[in-house]
Amino acid sequence: MTDFRDPPADHRTRIKICGLTRETDVDAAVDAGVDAIGLVLYDKSPRHVTLDRAVTLARQLPPFVTPVLLLVNAEASFVSEAISRLPQALLQFHGDETPEECGQSGHPYIRAARMASGFNLLDFARQFSKTQALLVDAHVEGYGGGGKLFDWSLLPSRLPCPMILSAGLNPGNVAEGVLKVRPWAVDVSSGVEAAKGIKDASLMRQFCQAVRAADRQGAETPSPARIE
């Protein structure tokens, strides 16, 4: 098994900021140095945007910054429409979707996994063998991590695919997460907000700076203390 929990010392942790709803926030996220933005197409979320709005926001992005469409138990017809209108986007399945449902379009996707005591992430990864990455989130009522941290010691020491660390991250704790977990990427939403769906440009900048500082520290310390 390729060990995606042990990236090279000079690995650059990718950054995704999720739940953007305004053009000004998209611009601020790009200026802060993100690699991807998340657009929530789940109508029960306070950060929900329509597909039309997602298309408009995605037009703000420069090359090499990826839009990610967050879906929760969406109809196959809606998934197909989203792909046709935003073919450059990555899909993120965050509900109860099966491996077959996630893969039926043939479009690249990432799968959210809700971490809790007794949950076997390695088995989950084997079930979703076609996923581009697993986004590990907290297990709370409803869908999404609710801005809550989970116990990072629940994570297996090896995974067959890249891992995106999410749930409760903010500028004050993301460096610790990068150094201890060594994820492929990190994902943040509420941790950089002034209000639900309204991002804070200063917090986004601080978050990205903290990730880069952790990357530099990790490069200087090739064998950081990692959760096993």
The CA-CA-CA angle for residues 90, 94, 100, to 5°, reads 75
- Amino acid identity, position 37: I
Q: Please write the tens of the pLDDT for every residue from 99-139.
A: 999 999 999 999 999 998 889 999 999 999 999 999 999 86
Q: Give pLDDT, residue 1.
A: 47
| pLDDT at 145 > cutoff 50 | no
Q: Which domains does the chain have, with CATH numbers?
A: 14-220 (3.20.20.70)
Burial 93-105 (b: 16+ CB within 10 A, else e): bbeebebeebbee
Q: Give pLDDT, residue 228.
A: 44
Q: Indicate the helix (H) or strand (E) that contains 127.
A: helix 121-127
Nearest alpha-carbon partner for 152 in 180, 128, 132: 180
Dihedral (Cα; 106, 112, 117, 120), 10-degree rounding? 20
Q: Copy the structure tokens of residue 218.
A: 């990790």
Q: Give pLDDT, residue 138.
A: 87
Band the pLDDT of 140: cuts 50, 70, 90.
low
Instruction: Please provide the distance, in angstroms rounded to a whole number, between the alpha carbons at the two ends of the chain.
Output: 16
Band the pLDDT of 221: cuts 50, 70, 90.
confident
Higher-confidence residue of 8 and 155: namely: 155
Q: Indicate the helix (H) or strand (E) that contains 111.
A: strand 109-115
Q: Copy the structure tokens of residue 211.
A: 């990730």
The secondary structure of residue 135, as a DSSP letter, is E
Rounded CA-CA distance 162/73 in Å is: 23
Q: Supply the residues annotated as catalytic.
A: 18, 137
Q: Copy the structure tokens of residue 137.
A: 């989130």
Mean pLDDT of the chain: 92
Q: Please write the tens of the pLDDT for every residue from 18-60.
A: 999 999 999 999 999 999 999 999 999 999 999 999 999 999 9
Band the pLDDT of 8: cuts 50, 70, 90.
confident
Q: Give pLDDT, residue 157.
A: 85
pTM above 0.95, yes or no: no
Q: Please write the tens of the pLDDT for every residue from 68-111.
A: 999 999 999 999 999 999 999 999 999 999 999 999 999 999 99
Q: Give pLDDT, residue 129.
A: 96
Q: Copy the structure tokens of residue 40.
A: 């929530």
| pLDDT at 195 > cutoff 60 | yes
